[in-house]
């Protein structure tokens, strides 16, 4: 499967943070959700900066 945050393919059995590839990607997604919920401005098109 592929990680929703970084798009990297990974083995689901090897991840402790499904559906993400790692805790790092899980936290990134969580922060993104919280940011949207609180209406904080996010840098546009900055997806790649997390890679």
List contacts with Zn ion (CB under 5 A): 3, 5-6, 21, 25
Min dist. Cβ of residue 50 to Zn ion (A) = 9
Q: What whole-number distance in Å separates Cα of residue 45 and Cα of residue 2?
A: 20
CB of 39 to Zn ion, least distance (A): 25
Residue 43 contacts by C-beta under 8 Å, 6 or more apart in sequence? 49
Non-local (6+) Cβ contacts of 8 within 8 A are: 2, 21
Closest separation in Å from C-beta 24 to Zn ion: 7
Nearer to Zn ion by C-beta: 16 or 38?
A: 16
């Amino acid at each position: 499967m592929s990680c929703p945050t970084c798009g990297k393919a990974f083995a689901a059995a090897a991840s402790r943070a499904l559906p993400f590839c790692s805790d790092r990607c899980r936290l990134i997604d969580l922060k993104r959700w919280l940011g949207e919920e609180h209406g904080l401005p996010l840098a546009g098109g900055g997806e790649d900066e997390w890679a």
